[in-house]
Structure 1
Amino acid sequence: MNSSNIEPRPLTQNIQFSDAELMVTLLDGRVIHIPITWYPSLANATEKQRANWELLGEGAGIHWPELDEDLSIEGLLKGIH
């Protein structure tokens, strides 16, 4: 029997912010909680600037055009900041 070790590519469904965290909901139901202090441009941004985000590569990344900030989901899952 053949089996594959290929994991599906994690993709973003939605993001939210609290005072201390960026929370990324993935299409598979996982939620990643990231300290917002890891990303000073997001930590110092206004609510309006944080709310202005778009998905990159069908959800493989997140881009904030006003802040010139890009985050990859793979990097977030690895704890890269």
Structure 2
Amino acid sequence: MNTTLIDSEPCALRAWAEGRINFLELSEGRIIGFQSDRFRILKAASEEELKKVTVEVNGFALRWEELDEDLTVEGIVAGRFQLPLPEVAA
């Protein structure tokens, strides 16, 4: 049996936002979350805009149409973010 790259890439079944945290439910059962502030365009978006995320490309991408922003599920799962974690005040 041959295994292709597509077979091993993470695939999202659904995506949603709660406040400024985005969540993905992956086809293998995991649910992961990431801070919107880790991406330039999402950092500037309102919570209402963040809620308008859709799963695209057969589960391999996320899309925010109003923001004209696309992210790959693989990049999110691998932790390839544009911005560092915000510093927490002590």
Smaller-chain TM-score bracket = 0.7 to 0.9
Question: Separation in 1 of the partners of 2:67 and 2:20?
Answer: 18
Give the TM-score taking structure 2 as reference length: 0.69
Name the stretch that deviates more: 22-31 or 4-13.
4-13
Secondary structure in 1 aligned to 2:66?
coil
Which runs of no fewer than 5 residues in structure 2 stay unpaired? 82-90
For residues 47 and 4 of structure 1, do their structure 2 counterparts lie closer, same or farther at Cα, with a shift above 3 Å needed?
closer
For residues 44 and 29 of structure 1, do their structure 2 counterparts lie closer, same or farther at Cα, with a shift above 3 Å needed?
same
Identity of aligned residues (%): 24
Which runs of no fewer than 5 residues in structure 1 stay unpaired? none
Q: Which has the higher contact order (CA 8 A, sep 6+)?
A: 2
Give the TM-score taking structure 1 as reference length: 0.75
